């Protein structure tokens, strides 16, 4: 039981660790290197250059960008959170601990249940 508590605490600590986003041009370069049919949302993320985000904020900002892009359009729903966003997180975030924490968050609602 003690190890379970410790592991939960460590995951929680990963979620709180801050990651400083690179420059706008570097964000665009990293996200474009992955490629996607949804490149229109990359500038929405790049506009946050230099900000400090934790794992939850990373997921939330991609969520907001996707929702803004989806307004009035048909979007792929949950698929984008399972396939595209984890690849974008890996490209954007150099800190593996923060990237892994963000990808774990994406597996849970509301991201895993988007339709």
Residue 81 has a CB neighbour count (10 Å cut-off) of 21
Which residue range forms the structural domain that includes residue 72?
Answer: 2-106
- Is 28 within the bounds of a domain? yes
- Is 49 within the bounds of a domain? yes
- Is 65 within the bounds of a domain? yes
What is the mean predicted confidence (pLDDT) over 78-106?
92
CA distance 52 to 70: 26
Q: CB burial class (10 A; 0-12, 13-18, 19+) of residue 80?
A: buried
- Is 111 within the bounds of a domain? no
Q: CB burial class (10 A; 0-12, 13-18, 19+) of residue 65?
A: buried
pLDDT of residue 115: 44
18 pLDDT more than 70: yes
pLDDT of residue 16: 84
**Residues of the chain above pLDDT 70, percent:** 79
What is the mean predicted confidence (pLDDT) over 103-109?
92
Please tell me the total count of domains within the chain.
1
What is the mean predicted confidence (pLDDT) over 56-85?
82
């Amino acid at each position: 039981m003690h190890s379970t508590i410790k592991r939960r605490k460590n995951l929680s600590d990963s979620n709180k660790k801050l990651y400083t986003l690179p420059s706008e041009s570097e964000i665009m370069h990293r996200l474009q290197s992955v490629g996607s049919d949804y490149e229109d949302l990359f500038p929405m993320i790049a506009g946050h250059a230099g900000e400090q985000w934790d794992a939850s904020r990373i997921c939330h900002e991609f969520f907001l960008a996707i929702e803004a892009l989806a307004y009035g359009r048909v979007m792929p729903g949950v698929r984008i959170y399972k396939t595209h966003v984890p690849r974008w997180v890996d490209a954007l975030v150099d800190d593996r601990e923060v990237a892994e924490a963000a990808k774990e968050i994406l597996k849970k609602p509301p991201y895993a249940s988007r339709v």
